[in-house]
Amino acid sequence: MDITVRGEPGQRKSCAVIGAGVSGIAVAIRMQKKGYAVTVYEANAFPGGKLSSENRKGYRFDMGPSVFTMPGYVDELFQLCGKNPRDFFNYTPLDPVYRYFFEDGSVLHARHGKEQFASVMTANSVDAKEDIIKYLDKSEIIYNLTEDVFLKNSLHKLKSFFTWPTLKGILNFGKIGAFDTMNGANQKAFTDPRLVQVFNRYATYNGSSPYLSPATLNVIAHVEIVKGAYYPIGGMYSITKSLVQLAQDIGVEFRFLAPVREILTENKKIAGIRTDTGTTEYDVVVSNMDIYNCYRQLLPHAKKPAKTLNQPKSSSGIIFYWGIKTEFSQLGLHNILFSGDYEEEFNAIFSKKSICSDPTVYLNITSKHTPGDAPPGCENWFTFINTPNNSGQDWDKLILDARTHIIKKINRLLKTNIEPLIESELVFDPRVIESRTSSAFGAIYGNSSNNKYAAFLRHPNFSKEIKNLYFCGGSVHPGPSIPLSLLSAKITSNLVK
């Protein structure tokens, strides 16, 4: 077996990053800027993890995350390296952000900004504009109280709690909705069940149920509606491409088709990594791999944080990537076709570990903004439903049933006959998601947030047992989504001396 030695006296210290997901790329950039010689190891032939792309019969699809918020966290990486972000990466604001379709035939367009959003919703609802603005004001308060506490610092270092923003957040803990559920808070705020459903939907952003997760997650409404959502020019994969280019420009090395088999330690300190081609010594290792699989597969001899690893996992999904040979003028970039019984949908996912017969359907169509993502006169449909994670279900049957229910729903709400228009199809389910992204059980978002202490139960960004071993990404603090994954990389790199 070959042994490569890194970090000899007089040389720069070395860092291995395991996984080229967006957080792994971001932490590689930050570690390179700290002075480390960084190598990123990726099991796939492509970078991005969930934030990847594929082409099928003339249709291009973003394979995973499709909603882009807080673009400043991407820009920050270029600015850190003395680059102009606009030379690498561009985006445009969305308005409306979403088009919501309901079983009663009504359609609501979610506009950007408090006033605009509230005005549109009031025009189609029994709830007053003032009540909607009051709700969004409260969502902003939650954001301001939690931003420093939960998003920008480690929750697992004592010094993080001795800052005024953190102390302020702790002293105002009762104001962040931790003791009510999302649905409970939203039912108190609104009379119109459609508005309750619109705001309950944000629980799905981290794979949870609005009937179980804390009302603290209503903070997401502020991020998306008030701070805004954006479309990356060229699609979501342009985020990955631009960050890889930046990383390579500053000297980060990428090795694809190079799965790491073991993280090597000696006397409770990082020694290096083992791949199929041999072992390589490193001073620091940062894992962007799902934390559950990282411990199970790469740290076989390490003490396992059982309490963290055994937390209930998030939901997963079934995605139909459809090439549609026509265009639908009533659809936009982001579209939601809501279930007629939202509570039953989440009950099926989290209690029955199955899929209801009327699932909420999300349609993402990037060809609305990037015409080249589909042939002329056609559209690329990312068709997604929330599902349980993989616990041994008959997924082949669930996929067939889900496809039937989805097509019926689309036909009903859009008044069409969609199946003859599908000329290309690719399907992802929890099994594929796990094999492609190492997400344990296909749980897209790591642990669920179906309890008020979930934010405190995520794995820290460092190992308490092994010196110079760190973690980043959506399965550790502060959580899933592109912005949080980028913040995870920042927190992690700041922890490295």
Same domain flag for 221 and 242: no
Asked if omega into 96 is within 30° of 0 (cis), the reply is yes
Band of pLDDT at residue 179, cut at 50, 70 and 90:
confident
Cβ atoms 155, 477 nearer than 8 A:
yes
pLDDT at 9: 45
Same domain flag for 183 and 217: yes
Same domain flag for 222 and 242: no
Band of pLDDT at residue 453, cut at 50, 70 and 90:
confident
Same domain flag for 223 and 269: no
Domain of residue 458, residue span: 2-60+69-92+234-312+449-495
Q: What are phi and psi of 474, to 5 degrees?
A: -70, -15
Last residue of a domain, one of 227, 261, 281: 227
Q: Is residue 434 part of a domain?
A: no
DSSP string, 272-291: EEEETTEEEE-SEEEE-S-H
Same domain flag for 40 and 83: yes
Q: Is residue 102 part of a domain?
A: no
Cβ atoms 447, 313 nearer than 8 A:
yes
Band of pLDDT at residue 177, cut at 50, 70 and 90:
confident
Per-residue model confidence as pLDDT tens digits over 76-88: 999 999 999 999 9
Band of pLDDT at residue 149, cut at 50, 70 and 90:
confident
List the CATH number of the domain containing 38.
3.50.50.60
Q: Is residue 371 part of a domain?
A: no
- Of 409, 383, 408, 385, the residue nearest 395 (C-alpha): 385
Residue 397, Cβ density class (10 Å: 0-12 exposed, 13-18 middle, ≥19 buried) = exposed
Per-residue model confidence as pLDDT tens digits over 216-246: 999 999 999 999 999 999 999 999 999 999 9
Residue 172: is its pLDDT beyond 90?
Answer: no
Rounded Cα gap, residues 236 and 49, in angstroms = 12
Rounded Cα gap, residues 241 and 101, in angstroms = 33
Number of domain units in the chain? 2
How confident is the model over 173-179, as a mean pLDDT?
73
pLDDT at 10: 54
Q: Is residue 377 part of a domain?
A: no
Residue 159: is its pLDDT beyond 70?
Answer: no
Last residue of a domain, one of 227, 242, 269: 227
- The secondary element (H helix, E strand) that includes residue 384 is strand 379-387
Q: Is residue 317 part of a domain?
A: no
Same domain flag for 213 and 264: no
pLDDT at 477: 93
3-state secondary structure of 270: strand
Q: Is residue 354 part of a domain?
A: no
Same domain flag for 194 and 256: no
What is the rounded end-to-end Cα distance, in angstroms, of the chain? 31
Last residue of a domain, one of 227, 255, 279: 227
Same domain flag for 133 and 215: yes
Residue 312: is its pLDDT beyond 80?
Answer: yes
Tokens 């209801």 -> residue:
356
How confident is the model over 57-62, as a mean pLDDT?
98
Tell me how far apart the 2 most distant CA atoms of the chain are, in Å.
Answer: 71
For residue 378, give both structure tokens.
């056609």
Helices (H), 13-157: 22-33, 72-80, 114-123, 129-146
pLDDT at 155: 63
Residues 6 or more apart whose Cβ sits within 8 Å of residue 188 = none
Q: How many CA atoms lie within 13 A of 442 on its CB side?
A: 21
Q: Is residue 350 part of a domain?
A: no
DSSP string, 333-345: SEEEE--S-HHHH
Per-residue model confidence as pLDDT tens digits over 66-118: 999 999 999 999 999 999 999 999 999 999 999 999 999 999 999 999 999 99
Residue 282, Cβ density class (10 Å: 0-12 exposed, 13-18 middle, ≥19 buried) = buried
Residues of the chain above pLDDT 90, percent: 87
Same domain flag for 160 and 252: no
Average pLDDT, the chain: 93
- Of 182, 216, 212, the residue nearest 198 (C-alpha): 182
Same domain flag for 130 and 220: yes
pLDDT at 139: 96
Residue 398: is its pLDDT beyond 60?
Answer: yes
Cβ atoms 37, 225 nearer than 8 A:
no
- Of 39, 42, 43, 61, the residue nearest 52 (C-alpha): 61
Same domain flag for 222 and 136: yes
Rounded-to-5 percentages of helix, strand, coil across the chain: 40, 20, 40
Same domain flag for 143 and 207: yes
pLDDT at 1: 39
Residues present in the chain in total: 497
Per-residue model confidence as pLDDT tens digits over 124-141: 889 999 999 999 999 999
Q: Is residue 397 part of a domain?
A: no
Residue 143: is its pLDDT beyond 70?
Answer: yes
Tokens 């309901």 -> residue:
102
- In this structure, the number of other CB atoms found within 10 A of the CB of residue 441 comes to 20
Q: CA 124: distance to chain centroid? A: 31
Rounded Cα gap, residues 73 and 428, in angstroms = 29
- In this structure, the number of other CB atoms found within 10 A of the CB of residue 421 comes to 16
